[in-house]
Amino acid sequence: MSKQFINPPALNPTNGFTHVVAATGGKTIYVSGQVSVNQKAEVVGKGDMRAQVEHVFANLKIALEAAGATFNDVVKITYFVVDLKPEHVPHIREVRKKYLSPENPPASSLIGVAALVVPEWLIEIELVAVVG
């Protein structure tokens, strides 16, 4: 299994993501969008973006481990943020750098949405990983 992280020089500089990730071989793992909910289905960090991002990444780690993967295996990550504003981005970046490889970060999309299924949810994150 191999992964190639590509940032074509004709595209803009990156900050915590890679423009193109190519993966061959191995097992592909798709993790459904995770939100800031604990094992009792309670919202964690109501009204606090940073707290919710922290809990979502903790949930993602559990999901990856259940499939035999780690954050180093992630090739694509998508963030859905309610009423996305510039001040949300530093919170996401601060937490993300604790989990994702700075040398080979995954391809990434950050999408602002009007709402998620539960009004207290501020962010949902889904990802794709490839393990060899």
Residue 54 has a pLDDT of: 98
The SS3 call for residue 73 is helix
Question: pTM for this one?
Answer: 0.93
Residue 91 has a pLDDT of: 94
pLDDT tens-place string over residues 41-51: 999 999 999 99
How confident is the model over 87-114, as a mean pLDDT? 96
pLDDT tens-place string over residues 57-75: 999 999 999 999 999 999 9
Domains of the chain listed by start with CATH number: 2-7+31-131 (3.30.1330.40)
Residue 36 has a pLDDT of: 98
CB 6 within 8 A of CB 22: yes
pLDDT-derived band at 1, boundaries 50, 70, 90: confident
